[in-house]
């Protein structure tokens, strides 16, 4: 059983919830920061995609895991806050790319023969593959909250978040 099997449904729920961030978001606001020290929804998305591709490629290098959203500067807030990222991608293109990448990364994780209690084979969050899987589900949930906060600060009406 793959280390992600027990978290598979939570993974899907987390990425479904993140997809709601993009509902009725216009292209002009995707890369706008509500404050100079807060990242835009697009930048938060780049951060998520960067880590998905980086960790999945550590398990199984796959050209399908390359993404225009996987920007190294988005890897860490302090690398990004002073250098805003603005890509020429629409809301729908970004959402489609997130969905594609998360599906590819999930497939890599599910194909792994590593088990939850096995020591993590690379430097990453956690000491075991199970802790890593738990963190990856937490990671999407955490940044979903951030992205909804950005929308609220911009005065957007959102669903019940």
| pTM of structure | 0.95
State residue 107 phi and psi, 5-degree precision.
-60, -40
Residue with tokens 């960067």: 50
CB 40 within 8 A of CB 84: yes
Question: Which residue, 30, 69, 17, 24, is CA-closest to 46?
Answer: 69
How confident is the prediction for the chain on average, in pLDDT? 94
CA distances 56 to 26, 39, 78, 124, 134, Å, are 30, 24, 23, 11, 15
Handedness of CA 67, 69, 74, 80 (dihedral sign): positive
pLDDT, residue 161, reads 55
pLDDT, residue 160, reads 67
Checking if the pLDDT of 51 tops 90, the result is yes
pLDDT, residue 62, reads 82
pLDDT band at 56 (very low <50, low <70, confident <90, very high): very high
pLDDT, residue 33, reads 96
What would the pLDDT profile of 63-111 be if each residue is shown by its tens digit?
A: 888 999 999 999 988 889 999 999 999 999 999 999 999 999 999 999 9
């Amino acid at each position: 059983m793959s280390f992600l099997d027990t978290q598979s449904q939570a993974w899907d729920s987390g990425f479904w919830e993140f997809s709601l961030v993009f509902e009725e978001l216009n292209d002009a606001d995707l890369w706008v920061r509500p404050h100079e020290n807060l990242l835009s929804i697009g930048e938060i998305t780049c951060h998520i995609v960067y880590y998905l591709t980086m960790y999945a490629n550590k398990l199984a290098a796959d050209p399908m895991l390359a993404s225009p959203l996987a920007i190294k500067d988005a890897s860490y807030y302090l690398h990004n806050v002073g250098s805003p990222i603005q890509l020429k991608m629409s809301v729908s293109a970004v959402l489609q790319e997130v969905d594609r990448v998360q599906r590819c990364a999930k497939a890599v994780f599910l194909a792994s023969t590593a088990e939850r209690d096995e020591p993590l084979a690379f430097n990453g969050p956690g000491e075991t593959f199970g802790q890593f899987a738990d963190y990856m589900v937490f990671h999407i949930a955490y940044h979903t909250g951030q992205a909804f906060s950005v929308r609220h600060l911009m005065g957007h009406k959102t669903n019940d978040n």
